[in-house]
Copies of this chain bind each other. A is one copy, B any other.
Amino acid sequence: MDIDGKIGIGLLGFGVVGSEVARILVEKSERLAQQVGAPLIIQGILVRDTVKSRRFESLSNLITTNPTDILDSPQVDIVVELMGGEEPAADYLRTALEQTKHVVTANKEVMATHGPELIRLAEEREVNLLYEASVGGGIPIIGPLRKDILANEVTSLHAIINGTTNYILTRMSQEGTDFRTALDSAQELGYAEADPSKDVDGTDAAFKLAILATLAFHTQVVGSDVYREGISGLTSEDFRYAREMGYAIKLLAVARRDEGGLSLRVHPALVPEEHLLAKVEGPFNAVEIEGDLVGRVMFHGQGAGPRPTSSAVVGDILEVARGIASGRRPVRQGTLRNGLSIVPMEELVTQYYARVTVADRAGVLAQIATVLGELDISIASVIQKKATPANQTAELMIMTHTSREADVREAVRRLEELAVVKEIVSLIRVEHWS
């Protein structure tokens, strides 16, 4: 806050989200000033290339390609980072915090990778580091985890936090299209990027889960702690069979605490149709948190897009600015007191659904059942779906009772060695948490 009582904001990045945030700060300036008790003034905007950055003519004099114009400026109280990508963003944020500037960021990759270090740095310098927009677009999730839910011991967190894949899965489910067609449509509509790999392979959801799990379980979690499996192997048959059994297929992000520690995973899962998460459609996101007091609470909304994301960014800016205006020290972040260990994926216990192409002859099921029995995997149901006489093959749909992941992996290995097993077409985990 300068001598006139203005709060200075430096924007790093001026893409679709950056220019939307600038637009809101300018167009709603009077109202925001009233809410804060002091005016918010953009003091600088860092861009990579001044030529490309003409979105907002009236701000053109604030544009710079030199980060120190913002990071070292005494007029900047809050650095708002909307560049995306790990570097140089993480480096800029470190510098900003070291200069005792408050930081607001929407950067999931930075927070999922360098979050714990940056949070400690912010506490040390007594500045705010807020990042509501890094998960779930405009849906309030991080705020509730940091404050409203704080009295709880969180026991589990189940989320759909990647809109691109949820859009693709919704298309595949509703229209029976294959993955490639649904992805093309997502790209046409702007729900998927030109290179969709980080969405499709679960990396983006794993980043977000790491951020949420760190807050929910008070334990340091980074993106690489999260087991991940993408959606590109799913076929339209999987959706049809799942529906017949009363399930939707979702790319689920799950964090769960039990005696062994914290398990963290992102993968396609069969979700019972009556569960609200099964009803999250298109590009929407939802996060369900279970706590010892509150039971289950769910947050649902648009998980991406410049406006929802800006809603969260400006919400964070307002929180920091109100603190500055009232001369307060920032609220302490949640401590990482729990230090839970991460449970290896091999120790997961859940149900599994497998679709297996087998030779269409007598005795096949006995061989498969023997393999599963040796590994203590008990079969809940087997349905023969279709025979293809030309190939002399048939398709079996096997649903197990709860089994250990390690045993199921070993079963897959042994089944693939059987002469009667042609292919294990799908293997999808089944989630029940009621």
Contacts and interface: CB of A to CB of B under 8 A. Distances in A.
A364 B307 CA distance: 52
A298 B301 contact: yes
B311 A294 contact: yes
A297 B293 contact: no
A378 interface: no
A95 B299 CA distance: 37
B143 A24 contact: no
A132 interface: yes
A388 interface: no
Interface string A46-90: 000000000000000000000000000000000000000000000
A296 interface: yes
B312 A148 contact: yes
A294 B301 contact: yes
A326 interface: yes
B148 A315 contact: yes
Number of this chain's copies in the complex: 2
A302 interface: yes
A374 to B, nearest CB: 43
A332 B144 CA distance: 19
B326 A332 contact: yes
B293 A307 contact: yes
Given A151-B314, A295-B138, A298-B299, A34 B335 contact: yes
A24 B294 CA distance: 12
A35 B150 contact: yes
A140 B151 contact: no
B149 A293 contact: no
Interface in A331-383: 331-332, 334-335, 337
A198 interface: no
Given A35-B334, A295-B307, A311-B293, A319 B152 contact: no
Contact of A327 (B34, B149, B329): B329
- Judged by DSSP, the binding face of A is mixed
Contact of A319 (B31, B147, B311): B147
Nearest to A138: B294
A308 interface: yes
Contacts of A230: none
Nearest to A132: B148
Nearest to A20: B293
A297 to B, nearest CB: 4
A140 B138 contact: no
B329 A308 contact: no
Contacts of A139: 294, 297
Contact of A24 (B293, B312, B332): B293
A328 interface: yes
Given A143-B147, A294-B302, 19 more contacts: A24-B293, A34-B335, A132-B148, A138-B294, A140-B147, A144-B148, A147-B315, A151-B314, A276-B300, A292-B307, A293-B311, A294-B311, A294-B312, A295-B305, A297-B299, A297-B301, A298-B301, A323-B331, A328-B329
Interface of A: 24, 28, 31-32, 34-35, 37, 132, 137-140, 143-144, 147-152, 276, 279, 291-302, 305, 307-308, 310-312, 314-315, 317-319, 322-323, 326-329, 331-332, 334-335, 337
Query: Nearest 10 A-B pairs (CB), nearest first?
Result: A140-B148, A151-B314, A138-B294, A297-B301, A293-B311, A294-B311, A328-B328, A140-B144, A298-B300, A293-B307
10 contacts: A24-B293, A32-B151, A35-B150, A35-B332, A139-B297, A144-B144, A150-B315, A151-B317, A292-B307, A322-B331
